[in-house]
């Protein structure tokens, strides 16, 4: 089931990331082609304003993935609502304050960004200010769109999320065309077009948060400074990641100017654009790893975390191998979309081909880095961010450029990612005191984390006779674990009743789409059953409360189970029903 959920989530995450990148690409092409050189210069100068808001949104998004993943995984509804309420409040406060500050200080901001002073001969100054004003109107939507993504992934609303980002892309294209050919609003209109497209996405996505069955509820009383601090703390590795990337761009631009001049810098701008699109694949895989690792870690589920590592690395390698092959084959055609200068074009084609060789190790590093962030290895995550995105790549680019010119800079990406992977492997081997490439070794989990081998059993059923077979295996496991015959039968009866309800009411004949995972754990004197299925949302604990006063002979299976258990906790996340019963 983990593989199935992973595949569904990663498709959504990659499409979402690529759609945002495509929107930015469309904006730059439209501005460059139809509004002129001054306009594209203004767009480039205004980019840091976008990056500041994007960085804060990314930080909150990562913080939500970790913090909300933990609260959902532990079944703490109030803490989940507290995370949601705090994140929404923080997003609103920062976006509104940021909007006001930028509108008030637009002119000094343009000077700071390098647009020069306001004068009749400096067209770039006015165009930069116009674009910033147009974009900043959509800043609240821009940030809310980023923050919505992890909440919608956790709640399993992947289809709505895809529709929202697709509408945003379509809206951006339509609004750009209207601005260029009908309204003729210049750079202000282009910024406004982007703002309008963000509001379209937010309106589509926000509809879920007002539904009765929404997993999250906004409650003002649950907003806490402590939760604000936690969101920021969990999102700090993402900020460090962004800062490292900015420093890397600065250093590589300097190196390329020295070894290849302006032509090399122009080539790098194309390689960087292609790279950002490529990173959407590995970044999408890593983002899913962050969400799922947070949930499974809070659930003390070692087997699920080990399965997640194997699944994540498999898809990281396979998907980026495909992307690498595509770039190697299509680099000529892709570069021609951006450049007309023959020298810059040739350099960019070589750069794209050498750069794409780094994609597989980069995807593996990023996936592991996000996994470690999800399992509270925050310090290690920050170290990986710095060495991967700045230190190693810049160092190798500097050394190799002395001997190989611009090709040495491009190879710096591959060498930097390979060295980062070597550092991760060495850290894992030192901690485990042996060489091992197993998922268990790379998990870096404490030895006492989760149930010990032999203290749990995991079973999957997907056939109509499954409940009986699974309950019998559970009974045998209990007897083998020293449980009395009576208690073993009661535990197996609980499993049979609850899984039978799922099969009878949610499975269709010969249904291959649905399955049920059952986990029985003996730990610290507790007997815990966790049942997870990918059928329609159904909360048996709420159903029991609603029908408690009905005829005692109705709903007898759920009644019997609820009377036998000490506690029952249900939550729906990632499109899965999760029921935990403690006997």
Backbone φ/ψ region at 574: left (φ over 0), alpha (ψ -120 to 50), beta:
left
- Counted residue by residue, the chain has a size of 583
Q: Is the dihedral of CA 414, 415, 421, 424 positive or negative?
A: negative
Token pair for 24? 């930015």
Measure the CA–CA gap between 111 and 89, rounded to whole angstroms: 32
User: Bridge partners of 456?
Assistant: 521
**What are the domain boundaries of the chain?**
1-223, 241-450, 456-582
Measure the CA–CA gap between 480 and 459, rounded to whole angstroms: 16
Measure the CA–CA gap between 562 and 557, rounded to whole angstroms: 9
Sheet containing strand 576-582, edge to edge, reads 456-461, 516-523, 526-533, 576-582, 567-573
Report pLDDT for 509: 58
Report pLDDT for 358: 95
- Annotation: CATH topology of 456-582: Heat Shock Protein 90 (3.30.565)
Question: Under a CB-based contact definition with an 8 Å cutoff, are residues 88 and 255 in contact?
Answer: no
Per-residue pLDDT of the chain (583 residues; tens, 9 = 90+): 777 788 878 888 888 778 777 777 777 778 877 887 788 778 777 877 887 888 888 888 888 988 888 888 777 888 999 999 999 999 999 999 999 999 999 999 888 887 878 887 788 889 889 999 999 999 899 899 888 988 988 888 888 888 998 899 899 989 999 999 998 888 999 999 999 999 999 999 988 898 887 888 999 999 988 889 988 888 888 888 878 887 888 788 788 888 888 777 777 777 887 888 888 899 899 988 988 898 888 878 888 899 999 999 999 999 999 999 999 999 888 888 776 678 878 888 999 999 999 999 999 999 999 999 989 898 899 999 999 989 999 999 999 999 898 899 999 999 999 999 999 999 999 998 888 889 999 999 988 887 777 788 888 876 555 788 888 898 998 888 888 899 888 889 888 888 888 887 777 655 567 788 888 988 777 888 888 888 877 888 877 777 776 666 666 778 888 888 888 888 777 778 888 888 8
Enter the pTM of the model: 0.81
Measure the CA–CA gap between 390 and 394, rounded to whole angstroms: 6
Measured in whole angstroms, the distance separating CA 37 from the mean position of its chain's CA atoms is 35
Token pair for 64? 């939500």
Measure the CA–CA gap between 404 and 407, rounded to whole angstroms: 6
Biggest CA–CA distance in the chain, Å, is: 91
Closest among 197, 202, 145 to 174, alpha carbons compared: 197
């Amino acid at each position: 089931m983990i593989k199935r959920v992973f595949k569904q989530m990663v498709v959504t995450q990659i499409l979402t990331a690529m759609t945002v990148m495509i929107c930015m690409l469309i904006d730059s092409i439209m501005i460059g082609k139809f509004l002129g050189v001054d306009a594209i210069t203004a767009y480039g100068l205004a980019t840091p304003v976008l990056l500041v808001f994007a960085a804060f949104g990314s930080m909150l998004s990562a913080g939500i993935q970790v913090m909300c993943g933990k609260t959902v995984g532990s079944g703490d509804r109030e803490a989940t609502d507290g995370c949601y309420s705090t994140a929404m409040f923080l997003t609103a406060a920062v976006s509104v304050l940021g909007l006001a500050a930028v509108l008030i200080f637009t002119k000094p901001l343009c000077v700071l960004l390098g647009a020069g002073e306001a004068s009749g001969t400096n067209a770039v100054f006015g165009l930069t200010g116009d674009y910033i004003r147009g974009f900043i109107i959509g800043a609240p939507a821009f940030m809310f769109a980023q923050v919505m993504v992890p909440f919608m992934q956790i709640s399993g609303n992947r289809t709505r999320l895809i529709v929202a980002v697709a509408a945003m892309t379509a809206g951006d294209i339509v609004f750009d065309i209207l601005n260029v050919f009908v309204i003729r609003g210049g750079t202000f209109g282009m910024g406004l077009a982007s703002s309008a497209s963000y509001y379209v996405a937010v309106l589509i996505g926000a509809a879920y948060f007002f539904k009765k069955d929404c997993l999250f509820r906004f409650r003002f009383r649950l907003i806490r400074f402590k939760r604000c601090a936690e969101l920021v703390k969990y999102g700090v590795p993402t900020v460090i990641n962004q800062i490292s990337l900015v420093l890397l761009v600065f250093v590589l631009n300097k190196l390329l100017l020295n070894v290849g001049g302006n032509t090399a810098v122009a080539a790098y701008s194309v390689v960087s654009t292609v790279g950002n699109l490529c990173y959407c694949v590995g970044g999408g895989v890593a983002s899913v790893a962050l969400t799922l690792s947070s949930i499974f870690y809070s659930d003390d589920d070692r087997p699920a975390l080990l399965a997640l590592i194997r699944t994540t690395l498999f898809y990281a390698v396979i998907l980026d191998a495909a992307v690498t092959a595509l770039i190697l084959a299509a680099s000529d055609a892709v570069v021609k979309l951006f450049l007309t200068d023959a020298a810059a074009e040739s350099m960019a084609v070589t750069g794209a081909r050498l750069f794409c060789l780094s994609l597989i190790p980069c995807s593996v590093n990023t996936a592991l880095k996000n996994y470690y962030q999800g399992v509270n290895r925050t310090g290690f995550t920050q170290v990986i961010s710095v060495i991967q995105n700045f230190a190693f790549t810049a160092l190798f680019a500097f050394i190799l450029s002395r001997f190989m010119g611009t090709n040495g800079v491009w190879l710096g990406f591959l060498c930097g990612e390979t060295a980062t992977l070597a550092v991760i492997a060495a850290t894992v081997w030192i901690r485990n005191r042996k060489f091992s490439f197993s998922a268990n070794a790379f998990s870096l989990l404490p030895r006492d984390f989760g149930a010990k081998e032999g203290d749990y059993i995991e079973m999957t059923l997907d056939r109509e006779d499954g409940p009986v077979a699974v309950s019998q295996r559970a009974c045998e496991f209990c007897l083998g674990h020293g449980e009395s015959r009576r208690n073993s039968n009661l535990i197996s009866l609980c499993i049979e009743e609850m899984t039978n309800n799922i099969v009878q009411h949610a499975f269709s004949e010969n249904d291959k789409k649905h399955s049920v995972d059952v986990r029985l754990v003996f730990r610290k004197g507790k007997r815990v059953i966790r049942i997870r299925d990918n059928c329609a949302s159904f909360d048996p604990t709420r159903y029991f409360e609603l029908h408690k006063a009905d005829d005692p002979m109705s709903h007898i299976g759920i009644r019997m189970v609820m009377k036998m258990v000490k506690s029952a906790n249900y939550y729906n996340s990632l499109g899965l029903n999760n029921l935990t019963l403690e006997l």
